[in-house]
Amino acid sequence: MTVAQKPTSTLSNNDEFLLRYPERNIGRIDDYIKFTILEYKAPGFAGIDESPVGFTLPNTDTTIEDALKSGTSIPLGSIILPIPKAISDSLGTSWGESEINALMAAGVNIADAAISPDKNVAKTATSVFDSFTESIENETGRESFKTAAMALSINSLAGGQGVSINSLVSRATGQIVNPNVELLFNGVQLRGPFSFSFDLMPRNDTEGGNIKKIIRKFKTEMLPRKTSTGGFFVKSPNVFKIQYMQGAEEHPFLNKFKICALTNMHVNYAGSGQYSAYHDATPLHMILDLSFMELSPIYSEDYDEDKGITGVGY
């Protein structure tokens, strides 16, 4: 391998270090991916204050994103690599089936009476079940309801380990309690893993040295650190800001990422299927696979930041 002269770049670098592969000029319209390493900042519990009722709820909306915007998350350096082989993005929210049949609804009314000092539980329960019985027009329906109520009572006495209500009702009348199934929102989802695969084939000593540093840097930054407490605590690994770039600016079309943790890393030092190396022991072909997870979920308001000016969003 021969030593090549380090090329110039259109990039400005204010970070502690900048590692890049390949070693070539980056033009105004060249696409690449940039990993900025950030010191992890715990979100904490900002907002806990004494109040007449004891305390206020903590502000759980504080995230590493807020630390980044406030400048308290320190950039430690950047790694630049070519656009990976395959790029895509996906979004998801958690929805699930939920059932609440008539008996459950009745139970809600009775439970409300139980916690309300001005309501009579027994009277409420009797009224609820009487109104159900009167609203059922045919005898089979009334019989099914009585059977279901009886099964509910048996289960209550048995601590919830009794008979199946629908099995008993079906056996007695050939009907089941309408489950009233609906799809309801369950919660947010964190995105990931984002998987990136890079072919690394050094063409000179400079690129070989940079690849070695890049691999070591990803390895060291994804791991926790020991603290001065004698090993009783370990510090969180550093995290990554991932950006698709074009020239010196963020890519005008491709998707964005929130701050990510590097959760898995794999290096194949025989990328061509058989190991081979230069005279200085640098492998001829390596494949670097990285998997990241976002630290915080995506919300609709996140798309309000640029109004679609800088690409497709997250």
Q: What is the pLDDT of residues 137-193, one digit of tens each?
A: 555 555 555 656 655 555 554 444 555 666 666 666 677 766 677 788 888 889 988
Q: What is the pLDDT of residues 5-36, one digit of tens each?
A: 333 333 444 446 799 999 888 888 899 999 99
d(CA 232, CA 235): 10
Peptide bond into 22 cis (omega under 30): yes
| Average pLDDT score, the chain | 75
Q: Quick check: 76 and 16 in contact, CB under 8 A? A: yes
Cα torsion at 128, 129, 134, 138 (round to 10°)? 140
Q: What is the pLDDT of residues 41-78, one digit of tens each?
A: 877 655 544 444 444 444 555 566 676 666 556 788 99
d(CA 226, CA 232): 9
pTM of this structure: 0.72
- What pLDDT score does 3 carry? 37
Closest CA to 165 of 148, 180, 179, 145: 148
- What pLDDT score does 79 carry? 96
Q: Would the CA dihedral through 156, 162, 168, 169 be positive or negative? A: positive
Scan for tokens 């040295």, then name that residue: 209
